[in-house]
Amino acid sequence: NQANVPGEASDLGPFYIDETPPETPVVDDGKYTASTNMVNASWSASDPESGISEYEYAVGTSPLGTQIRDWTSVGPSTSAAITGLSLSAATTYYVSVRATNHAGLVSSPASSTGVKVAQPVPDILAAKAVDDGTAIALAPQVVSAVFPTAFYLEDPDRFTAIRVQAASELEPDDLVSVMGTMGLTNDGERAILDPVFPDPTETGNPIMPVVMLAKTAGGGTQGKTPGTTGGVGLNTTGLLVKIESK
């Protein structure tokens, strides 16, 4: 560029004009939340010409909906703890985001895949009492057995147990809390499906097997979890048991 000398032309270029809006954001708000007044969400978008100047979010009961929180600016932040909400258990909510670049152009809005408000349940028996399709937040329980595609949790009194359908690196006796959706596995067992669970930080008391005769295995209905045909007594589905021949 030439110096700014009076009487001489100055080269102030080149100039670039941003005529395109930012890319459509990608939004993540997790699968579940146990809170009824807050949702955590994060997002990302890019604008190679002029950059992102502002994001706005909304919260609704449908994709792109604003029923719970209208569009709200968070400046250039790419995450937010959205507080002051009134959320209902067993309901799915969607966080939507749009981006504005430094040229004032606004992206198309995008929504998360939806976060379910999980119903808190204090124990396995309470989990078995809820309807299929209900998201639950199960208080910490002891792992009794681990398989390649599932693991089992059992009450310390050995009265009831439940399958959690997920591969894991858990070990027996780990103490773990789970959020997921009650439903049936492909082989017909009632279980917690599509779960999320943190890495365990402590262990519980080891689960000892229930000793029983083969003819007493199965048992009756427990909550909304059926027993065997004609079965009565303790529902042994998922329990750690030892079968005696006599």
Residues 66-86 have a mean pLDDT of 98
27-31, 199-203, 214-218 — which is least confidently predicted? 214-218
Q: How far apart are CA 89 and CA 87, in angstroms?
A: 7
Q: Identify the DSSP state of 205.
A: P
Q: How far apart are CA 23 and CA 65, in angstroms?
A: 20
> Is pLDDT above 50 for 1?
no
Q: How far apart are CA 144 and CA 146, in angstroms?
A: 7
Instruction: Name the 3-class secondary structure at 126.
Output: helix
pLDDT at site 218: 74
Q: What percent of the chain has pLDDT over 90?
A: 69
> Is pLDDT above 90 for 235?
no
Residue 146 in contact with residue 239, Cβ under 8 Å?
no
pLDDT at site 15: 63
Report the chain's mean pLDDT, rounded to a whole number.
89
35-44, 135-144, 209-218 — which is least confidently predicted? 209-218
The dihedral built from the CA positions of residue 82, 21, 103 and 16, taken in this order, carries a sign that is positive
Residue 48 in contact with residue 105, Cβ under 8 Å?
no
Strand duo 92-101 + 119-121: pairing: unpaired
pTM (two decimals): 0.79
Closest CA to 96 of 45, 147, 130, 37: 45
Residues 89-105 have a mean pLDDT of 95
pLDDT at site 149: 97
Q: How far apart are CA 22 and CA 45, in angstroms?
A: 7
> Is pLDDT above 90 for 164?
yes
> Is pLDDT above 80 for 73?
yes
> Is pLDDT above 50 for 202?
yes
Residues 37-49 have a mean pLDDT of 96
pLDDT at site 10: 62
